[in-house]
Structure 1
Amino acid sequence: MNLSDMLGYADIQQLSRIADVYRCECNGHSKNDLIQSILSTVSRNDVFEAQISSMKLEDLRFLNSLLFEARNSFSLEDLLARVQQSRFGGEAEVQVEPEPQPKKKKTKKKAEAVDTTLTPREMIAKFKHHGWLFNGFSGPSRYLFQVPIDLKARFRASLARRFATELLYTDEPPVYRDEQMLIHDDITHLLHYCRHNEVQLTADGSMYKRFVVQILELVGVQEELPAKGEWRFGYGRHFNHYPNRISFLYDYCYSAKYITETQTVISVTGSGEERLRGRQAGEAEQVYRYWLKLYKGPITNLLSLVHWINALAIEWVTVESLRAVLVPFIKPYYYDDANTILEKRIMTMMVHLGLLRVGEHSQHGAVVKMTKAGTAVVSGLNIEDPGALALQ
């Protein structure tokens, strides 16, 4: 539902709170007057932009977590978790000095910062008072929350304009890398190798090193094996034994039930045999969705970050300026800091998936741009439809 519909279902108490936030001048006892005044005020771009400009970073992170979800309803528990995930620790956790020494003013400011930090429930109440969240109105939906569909679109458009002003766009670099279709070919190569070789497993379930080396010689993107004794950190089942891309390919084939593991060897299943006979329709979307599923645990807002890259990298843009915009929205994960997550876990994997191309500009360094196929996949289009965007 849109904002006007949700206001129509809201009670007069919530309408009065929203009207107070926007300083609407109207008859506070008339539900119709309240609704018309709120809609008139919120529809003004200067009011809407001022509200966004006044939002703190953790408010923006919380809002960002809701903007690209396919589902429309959220439970209270889900929203509380999202508020917690929007607090990365540094700016939200302010310590007060136990013994205020010479710098008493600084201590006072710190104390004020602690007092003004909203609890997760207060954050949700704040969004309700702004008319950005509404409860359901009947049955089980009474316990669910929704963001008005038209406000979602306005938030996305407004933030996109705000982010774009901070980006540096360039002309096409003389050299760039584009891996479209390579991952599909390499799924075939991996299955073909496992079909025609007895690939043995170690006691921990990973392939012996010699098999990984031989697979690396077949695939289209070369990677280095983890060095002996090297500390490895990654996402997936055997990331500590395989390079990142091979690890993802293996996990996808295992999840798709193309291969199965016994205690000692890998076998290609009937589904894997069928995949060897030809790539199935919609595989690009399936691989993309599996990547989101595998990586969204460590990167809780991965979906929104991918959508922002899709929206902001429609032309060649420098990685440095993109980093400045997106890193504040990325929560570190153990030994992965925000920069590492953006470059290695997100952008590099988007290149491997054929969603993004990366180049080297002579003046501005590393630059990226979405592929047409990547834009189609992220936007939810079927790239194999005759009417869908063509591959570049």
Structure 2
Amino acid sequence: MKLADMLSYADIGQLSRIATTYQCECNGNSKNELIQSILSTVNRREVFEAQIGALKLEDLRFMNSLLFDARDAFSLEELIARVQQSKFASPGSQNEAPADTRTDEAASAASPVKKTAAKSSAAKRTGKSKPAKERPEPESGPRETISRFKQYGWLFNGYAGPERYLFQVPSDLKERFKQSMERRLASEVEYTDDEPHAYRDEQMLMGEDIVHLLTFIHLNEVPLTSEGMMYKRTILQLLELFGVKEPLPGKGEWRFGYGRKIKEYPNRFSLLYDYCFYQGWIAEHNELLELTPAGKERQALRTAEGTDKLYQFWLRLYKGPIPNIRSLAHWIDKLGSRWVRAETIMRTLTPYVKPFFYDQSETILEQRLIGMMMHLGLLRIGEHAEHGQVIRMTPLGRTVVAGLSLDDEAIVLNS
């Protein structure tokens, strides 16, 4: 639903709190006047931009996590968890489950919103909604953050049945948030109008290498170690057939979380292998790697796998270690609409990337996101004489990233 629809279902108490937040001058006893005054104020670009500009980084991360979720509604517990995940500086609190699971009504009663509600009640007695003398003070804690977003009119409860305990973001505000965030992020990066002297483009190569992998397994007996991995000689033979050559992982290198075989195989190779395993095309049996009946049918087609399917799999597979991977891919796409300095992309987006164990934010953004998007054929990485490393989305990449709707669940590949 849009903001106007959600306001019409909201009770007069919440409308009064929102009106007070935006310093609206109107009759506090008239629901219609409150709604019209709120819409008139919120729809002013300078007011909306000022609200976004005043948000802390943790609040921006929290809102960013809601904008790209396929679901429309969230429970209070889910929102609390997302607020906690947005505070990178305190990992201990991020991993703790909320001990209190009261309903939103109880949360509101325990928050400083009570004071605002009291002011609104007083305003009703006088027939006017008094403008707030100053912006509400920023509050800390997950419940306070949620209450503050309700005061801004950015989160609303359902109005009936079980949905009354779920929260939604107005659909039209979602688009305005995305546009505002895009302008904010785009102002922090540096573009170049001329082409780099050389660039790397891997469009369609990964899809073709799926065919090479299946054909190799079809034509050869592929032995596996007792741990279920291919021998080094076999891996090197396959890498010679692939469109992209990768170095083997170093001994003792920290590798887990990004797929079933990321520990043993190079990043791109691992993604290809895991994709075929997830599709049910290959099976590890009696220390041999073999094609399944479905794999033999797929191999006989000898057609490249679609980039959109590989992209969808990559997003879902990496969703565990990178919960907001979909939003990050979206921002890389938007910021990479033309050649942009990679260094400025890194500086701009790193604050939105949460570290994953020993993988720092910079490493995740550079290797797990930008690097893998290049392997998927979604973007090009070039070298510019003046600006150094630059990146740009490919036409195929822009189409794929813009047109995909994904399931919410992350993929877990068990041994």
What is the TM-score of this pair, normalised by structure 2? 0.83
User: Following TM superposition, by how much is the alpha carbon of 1:283 offset from its aligned partner in structure 2, in angstroms?
Assistant: 2.6
Match of 1:52 in 2: 52
Match of 2:159 in 1: 137
Match of 2:346 in 1: 323
Contact 2:216 2:238 in 1 (8 A): yes
> 1-side partners of 2:302 and 2:351: how far apart?
39
Contact 1:238 1:247 in 2 (8 A): yes
Q: Is 1:191 the counterpart of 2:201 in the alignment?
A: no
Match of 1:374 in 2: 397
User: Following TM superposition, by how much is the alpha carbon of 1:381 offset from its aligned partner in structure 2, in angstroms?
Assistant: 6.0
> Secondary structure at 1:154's aligned position in 2?
helix
User: Following TM superposition, by how much is the alpha carbon of 1:228 offset from its aligned partner in structure 2, in angstroms?
Assistant: 3.7
Correspondence for 1:242 among 242, 265, 277: 265
Contact 1:310 1:370 in 2 (8 A): yes
User: Please, which runs of 5 or more residues in structure 2 have no aligned partner?
Assistant: 94-136, 406-415
Aligned residue identity for 2:401 = V
Q: Where does 1:270-309 land on structure 2 (aligned, <5 Å)?
A: 270-278=293-301, 283-309=306-332
Match of 1:269 in 2: 292
Aligned residue identity for 2:187 = T
Contact 2:204 2:304 in 1 (8 A): no
Match of 1:206 in 2: 229
Match of 1:88 in 2: 88
> 1-side partners of 2:24 and 2:370: how far apart?
44
Match of 1:111 in 2: none
Match of 1:311 in 2: 334
> 1-side partners of 2:404 and 2:262: how far apart?
31
> 1-side partners of 2:252 and 2:15: how far apart?
62
> 1-side partners of 2:284 and 2:76: how far apart?
40
Contact 1:205 1:263 in 2 (8 A): no
Deviation by residue 1:127-164 (Cα, 9 ceiling, x = unmatched) = 11110011111222212111101101111111111111
> 2-side partners of 1:181 and 1:275: how far apart?
17
> 2-side partners of 1:321 and 1:148: how far apart?
32
Correspondence for 1:124 among 146, 154, 176: 146
User: Following TM superposition, by how much is the alpha carbon of 1:350 offset from its aligned partner in structure 2, in angstroms?
Assistant: 0.2
Question: Taking structure 1 as reference, are residues 138 and 340 closer, same or farther at Cα in structure 2, changes over 3 Å only?
Answer: same
> 2-side partners of 1:91 and 1:243: how far apart?
29
Correspondence for 1:151 among 164, 170, 173: 173
Question: Taking structure 1 as reference, are residues 126 and 231 closer, same or farther at Cα in structure 2, changes over 3 Å only?
Answer: closer
> 1-side partners of 2:187 and 2:289: how far apart?
51
Aligned residues: 361
User: Following TM superposition, by how much is the alpha carbon of 1:198 offset from its aligned partner in structure 2, in angstroms?
Assistant: 1.3
User: Please, which runs of 5 or more residues in structure 1 have no aligned partner?
Assistant: 94-114, 383-392
Aligned residue identity for 2:285 = T
> 2-side partners of 1:361 and 1:288: how far apart?
27
User: Following TM superposition, by how much is the alpha carbon of 1:69 offset from its aligned partner in structure 2, in angstroms?
Assistant: 1.9
Aligned residue identity for 1:137 = Y
Question: Taking structure 1 as reference, are residues 234 and 222 closer, same or farther at Cα in structure 2, changes over 3 Å only?
Answer: farther
Contact 1:135 1:145 in 2 (8 A): yes
Q: Is 1:257 the counterpart of 2:280 in the alignment?
A: yes
Question: Taking structure 1 as reference, are residues 134 and 215 closer, same or farther at Cα in structure 2, changes over 3 Å only?
Answer: same
Contact 2:339 2:391 in 1 (8 A): yes
Deviation by residue 1:50-81 (Cα, 9 ceiling, x = unmatched) = 10111000000000101122221112222111
What is the root-mean-square deviation in Å for CA atoms of aligned residues? 2.0
Contact 2:4 2:39 in 1 (8 A): yes
> 2-side partners of 1:154 and 1:230: how far apart?
43
Question: Taking structure 1 as reference, are residues 139 and 187 closer, same or farther at Cα in structure 2, changes over 3 Å only?
Answer: same
User: Following TM superposition, by how much is the alpha carbon of 1:231 offset from its aligned partner in structure 2, in angstroms?
Assistant: 4.4
User: Following TM superposition, by how much is the alpha carbon of 1:263 offset from its aligned partner in structure 2, in angstroms?
Assistant: 3.5
Q: Where does 1:104-119 land on structure 2 (aligned, <5 Å)?
A: 118-119=140-141
> 1-side partners of 2:178 and 2:265: how far apart?
38
Question: Taking structure 1 as reference, are residues 205 and 340 closer, same or farther at Cα in structure 2, changes over 3 Å only?
Answer: same
Contact 1:92 1:117 in 2 (8 A): no
> 2-side partners of 1:16 and 1:284: how far apart?
50
Moved more, 83-92 or 274-283: 274-283
Identity percentage of aligned residues: 59
Question: Taking structure 1 as reference, are residues 116 and 22 closer, same or farther at Cα in structure 2, changes over 3 Å only?
Answer: closer
User: Following TM superposition, by how much is the alpha carbon of 1:233 offset from its aligned partner in structure 2, in angstroms?
Assistant: 4.9
User: Following TM superposition, by how much is the alpha carbon of 1:232 offset from its aligned partner in structure 2, in angstroms?
Assistant: 3.9
Q: Where does 1:160-239 land on structure 2 (aligned, <5 Å)?
A: 160-170=182-192, 171-233=194-256, 235-239=258-262
> 1-side partners of 2:36 and 2:92: how far apart?
37
* Larger relative contact order (CA 8 Å, sep ≥ 6): 2
